[in-house]
Structures are given as structure tokens and as C-alpha cells.
Amino acid sequence: GLEIKPFEWEYEIAKFDLTLSVVEWNGQLNCMLEYATSLYEEATIVRMTKHFIHLVDNILAHPHTKLSELSMVLEEERMQLLRDFNDTKAEYPRNKTIHQLFEEQAERVPDKVAVVFEDKQLTYRELNERANRLARTLRNEGVEAEQLVGIMTERSLEMIVGILGILKAGGAYVPIDPEYPEERIRYMIEDSGVKLLLKQSHKQHIEFTGTVLNLDQESNYHKNSLNLENHVQSNNLAYVIYTSGTTGAPKGTLLEHKNVVRLLFNSKNVFDFNEKDTWTLFHSFCFDFSVWEMYGALLYGGKLVIVPKMISKNPIQFLQLLKDEEVTILNQTPSYFYLVKDQELTHSSCDLKVRKVIFGGESLNPSLLKEWKDKYPDIKLINMYGITETTVHVTYKEITEIEIKDGRSNIGKPIPTLNAYILNEQKELQPIGIQGELYIAGEGLARGYLNRPDLTAEKFVDHPFIPGEKLY
């Protein structure tokens, strides 16, 4: 006489992080996923179930194919990864070179201060004319398109003149830090094959069989200061930066004019740089952050303040320089910025003119920026990720109170003219939320490595989704 009925009950504690239970019933497999809500969002689990069903369908349709060759990515997700997340196509001055854009600014704001170093400065007219005079000398020495020219200088006005002079002559500059060990300097000169070296007369003597021109020697400057006829195209080399060589001998990365131009000028630009901005050249010209600092200032008609070596090593003095020069665009590695931040927070006054802090070069810890954001809520904090091979920057993310509160580093989304993909070992797209390796495509990719066709082929691979293009 017992009456039996089901007791409706649902336990609310998952026994494991994630459990997939499969029961066969009436000739079908019924699956149930149980998950810890403290670890997974419902959307993640729903996506996972779709991937699982899609994978099973693929296995049934292709039973003899290796698992590693089957994709879990749904077609709508594939389109999201390829199209929606990479909607970065943008126009830019495709036929312009770096020095042509600088010459336009020199014509537009000739009397504006272009570059400052300690107690010296040059206006746009003065810098342009001096670079023109040097460029004519370089042309007379035989410099032409695609020719590499070494430049080994300390931070100085001559350094900027030398770089622009090489570009105007049609060559590509190879920056060499005079403080590098002699062995590294010799390697870079030999590997790059430079036949012409620009330096300062007071720097140490090095063994060099080519031609040496001292930038501080007036006789090396031609009398004619007019702009030269342009001998290069946007797809010609602009510079070769040697990476640190942590995985072996340093390797020279080949960058073209267009790589830099599209970084700073495009129809979807995420920055609003202008002639009222003052930038610091804080980083060594052997580090590609300097490319962003130099041309961000000079190609927009802004002012570039070259930070003396000793000041760059002293956060207190550097902070004072930011105030004295009324710097508006600050580019920093996070580790050094934390030191500057700590110094600034000891002052009650809010006398910085900075409007953007752009981070790069290292992983950022947003939680360490809280007090700075409290003091300067209007300064935009921007986290960017990139490497020499992709022309300084790849992604952009503004760091707001949300990121600071969460304390989670976020490199954001690809900038205009670049695409970013997360792929597996077979170079297939990984589903959303699944880790893999980051691949970059687009018009910021370097040409490759100098004298290293094997390494170029290994790192700059064929694009699996766009025929004829490359991925780094």
C-alpha cells in the first residue's frame, strides 16, 4: 500500500570543476555537463557543448582523420574570429615615405620647434635643411635605395639629423648604440654589411674599413639645403633594428617606410596626435619604441624632447623634465612608469600636462595604476602590445577603472591595418576562450630578417586564410 512519487531535488554544489556524464538511452547518447559556477560562466559551457557536438559530427563524417586535424570551431564562430574580431581594414598614404611626411610638416610649421636636447633646439626648417645638406653628402658618397647606412651616436640633435639625412638620401639606417660591447658593434657592422658609418668625432675608435662621416663636422654638410628629389618608394627599406639576440646572435629586422606610415596615419586611427603635442624620446634608437616616439612627434608637427641618458636613469629628474617641457604624450615600459608614478604621488600638486600614457614592451599590472588614476582621472592610460617584427605596436586597449579594479592585464584588440589570430599547432583557429599561439598579419609585418632566410621562413609563414599573405 505504499505510494511512491519522485522527490524534486537539485544539489547546488558541483562535485568537480567540470563533469561530463554520458548515458545511453533508447539508442541515443544523452550528455550532461555539470560545472562549478565559480570557475565557468554559462556562456562558456554552452559554447563548449556546441564545440563538442561539432567535433563529434566531424568525427562521424571523417572517421579516418586524425583528431588534431579536426576543427571544433563552428562556422559562425569562424566568421566572428576572422571577420568581426579583425575588422581593421583601413586606408593610409600608401605612396608616402617617412621623410616626405616630415617635409610636409617642415613646410607647414617651419618656425615651430621640432626637437630639443638639453639647451639646444632646432626648428622644423632648421632640422629639414640640415638633414637635406647631410643627405646630399650621402648621395655623393653613393647612397641609394635599399642601401644600409650605419649610425652610431649618443642621444643628440645630430642623431635625429643623421636619421633623417639617411632617409632623405634614400638609404635605410642601422642604429648602433656606442655603449654596446665592441664585439656586438663589430657583429652588427659586419652582418649588416654597411659601407658608410655616421658617428660623432669624440666617440671611441672602432675598426671599420668603410667610409666614416662625423656628424659634428661641418665639412660633411653640403651647401645646398633644399629638399632632394625622392629616390625611394614606400615599400623600400627605412631601417634595420637588431633585436637583443637572447636566442642566439642578434638578428636584423627589415622594416619599410609603409610599415611606419600606416602605423601613424590611417583612416581608422585610434589616436588624435597633433602639432600641439610634446613627446619624449626616452628609449634608445636601437629599441623600436623610439620609432613610435620620433615619428609620432615629427610627422605630426609636434615637439620631440630627447631625454639625456643620465636623466632617463633617474625617475625624479625625468618627472621634472616632464613638467618643465610640458610633455603631453608619454611612452613608457610599465616597470619604469611605476617608479615615475611613485615619485609623482609624493606631490600634492597636479602639474603634469600629460594627456596620454602609452605602455609597451612589458606586461602591465593595472592594479598598480589606481592611485595615479585617482590623481589624474583625465589622463588616458593605454596598454599596447607589439614587437619589432610587427612595427612597434599590434594591439590597443584603454585601461579604465574596470581593468584597474579587476587587476587583469589586457592587451586589447588589433589596431587598424593589422589582424590577430590565436591558432593551434596545426595553424587552425582556436575557439573563443581557448589558448593557443598569437599570430599577426597585415601591413605592419616586417620584410623579414637580414641575411637569415631560414629564420625568415620559420617566423614569417604563409597565411592559412588569405592566399599570398604572411603571418608572423
Cell numbers 609597451 label which residue? Answer: 360
Which grid coordinates belong to 388?
619589432
Confidence of residue 68 (pLDDT cuts 50, 70, 90): confident
Q: What is the mean pLDDT of residues 106-122?
A: 98
What DSSP line would sit under 148-207, residue for residue?
EEEEE--SSHHHHHHHHHHHHHT-EEEE--TTS-HHHHHHHHHHHT-SEEEE-TTSPP--
What confidence category does residue 123 fall into, taking pLDDT thresholds of 50, 70 and 90?
very high
Residue 229: band (very low, low, confident or very high) from pLDDT cuts 50, 70, 90: very high
> pLDDT (tens digit, 9 = 90+) per residue, 391-431?
999 999 999 999 999 998 889 999 999 999 999 999 999 99
pLDDT at 256 over 80: yes
The pLDDT tens digits for 331-352 are: 999 999 999 999 999 999 999 9
Summarize the confidence of residues 434-461 as an average pLDDT. 97
Three cell numbers written together for 312: 632617463
User: What is d(CA 346, CA 190) in angstroms, rounded to the nearest whole number?
Assistant: 49
The CA dihedral of 374, 375, 380, 381, to the nearest 10 degrees, is -70
Report yes or no: 143 and 149 within 8 Å, Cβ to Cβ.
Answer: yes
Phi and psi dihedrals of 332, rounded to 5? -145, 150
128-163: pLDDT as tens digits: 999 999 999 999 999 999 999 999 999 999 999 999
CA distance 442 to 455: 19
Burial class (CB in 10 A: 0-12, 13-18, 19+), 231: middle
Alpha-carbon distance 122 to 161, whole Å?
10
